[in-house]
Amino acid sequence: MGLRTPLYDLHLALGAKMVDFGGWDMPLHYGSQVEEHHQVRRDCGVFDVSHMTVVDVQGADAQSYLQKLLANDVARLSEPGKALYSGMLNEQGGVIDDLIVYLCDWGYRVVVNASTRDKDIAWMQARAEGFAVELRERADLAMLAIQGPRARAHVAELVTAARAALIHDLKPFQGLPEGDWFIARTGYTGEDGLEIMLPAGQAAELLNELVGAGIAPIGLGARDTLRLEAGMNLYGQDMDENVSPLAANMAWTIAWEPSERDFVGRAALQAQRADEAQPKLVGLVLEERGVLRAHQVVRVEGVGDGEITSGSFSPTLGKSIALARVPAATGERAEVEIRGKWYPVRVVRPNFVRHGKPLI
């Protein structure tokens, strides 16, 4: 038996097909993964993401600690409520995890992946030596993501006036507390929406209210196709400890300035940055029938080989798409081997759908 979120029983009651995800028993879908996908793109849906790990960082050195720990620079967060996405790197410049950090008036809230919890916390604690910081894992919190063009409007109708006002006022990538909830306008779908962290004991009631109001529960299956269409990386698949953020479409998350900020992995990244052979993460589109899958081989004529890191059928586009790590010199065309046959694919920027609209 795997780990369970506070919503486990409710998932079963809602007819979820459960699967193991990073040691957690999580809903894969509640009937049709493709329908759930469309639901989020067209209206909205609710995901249980309580398996994700929340770590609060407090103390006099919280900022300088995170400036050392993360490739992105928390000094860029100018006021409480602002958030940024960052890689947490090892000394070799490999990605230990990707995360979101929110600036709060008492410190920072860091949200890391579920499957990487143990190593992340061990790493964060080891790096904390010499800094006046306190790390506190918030296993007492549950998290629901409500995503889709109508998500904020739907949720605002169901919560207190103060929370509705905050939901209305939040800017993209902003998160603020309201009572014992923390409400953020963030997500992993390429749609507008919210992520709500709240005491675990309140999670079932909120999910019940949302579902009762007609907001469909969405499983991990649709979560994966939504994030793939949005060109968002999945840790462990599109990058890991042996992959540089430069080879994972995460160059934008590295704050090179100020140059004296010596974050973990900086020296290695600088060497990689100068290396023109560094591969890149691109998007692939299969125009023929078939489905691109992780680990299929990509061949670029006259250039070299690469590999698909994530691939699936895109319900929004009605064709298969993928993320692939390919040689830097890759142009607009490549081929992918599917069951012994080579299929031509189009190479695109790894961002296929945003706010319901195809980008390719």
Partner 1 sequence: MSNIPADLRYAASHEWARLEADGSVTVGISDHAQEALGDVVFVELPDVGKQLAAGQEAGVVESVKAASDIYAPVSGEVIAVNEALADAPELVNEDPYGNWFFKLKPSNPDELTALLDAAGYMAVADADA
Tell me, residue by residue from 73 to 112, as one string, x for binding to partner 1 by CB under 8 A and - for no binding: ----------------------------------------
10/226 with CB nearer partner 1: 226
Listing DSSP states for 171-205 in one string gives PTTBEEEETTEEEES--SSSS-EEEEEEEHHHHHH
Q: Is 195 annotated as a binding residue?
A: yes
Kindly state the smallest distance separating residue 338's Cβ from partner 1, in Å.
9
Please list every residue from 269 through 308 that binds partner 1, using CB under 8 A: 289-291, 293
291/360 with CB nearer partner 1: 291
Kindly state the smallest distance separating residue 248's Cβ from partner 1, in Å.
24
- Among 47, 263, 313, 352, the residue binding partner 1 under the rule CB under 8 A is 313
d(CA 187, CA 56): 19
Rounded to 5 degrees, what are φ and ψ at 246? Answer: -70, -25
Nearest to 248 by CA among 186, 332, 309: 309
Q: What's the longest Cα–Cα distance across the chain?
A: 61
Nearest to 58 by CA among 101, 106, 99: 106
Q: Does 39 bind partner 1 (CB under 8 A)?
A: no
Cis peptide preceding 258, ω within 30 of 0: yes
* 3-state SS class at 137: strand
C-alpha separations of 253 from 87, 120, 205, 332 in Å: 7, 18, 36, 25
Kindly state the smallest distance separating residue 317's Cβ from partner 1, in Å.
11
87/311 with CB nearer partner 1: 311
Kindly state the smallest distance separating residue 221's Cβ from partner 1, in Å.
6
- Among 39, 53, 174, 225, the residue binding partner 1 under the rule CB under 8 A is 225
Q: Which residues bind partner 1 (CB under 8 A)?
A: 28-29, 32-34, 221, 225, 289-291, 293, 312-313, 315, 320, 339
Residues annotated within a binding site for substrate: 195
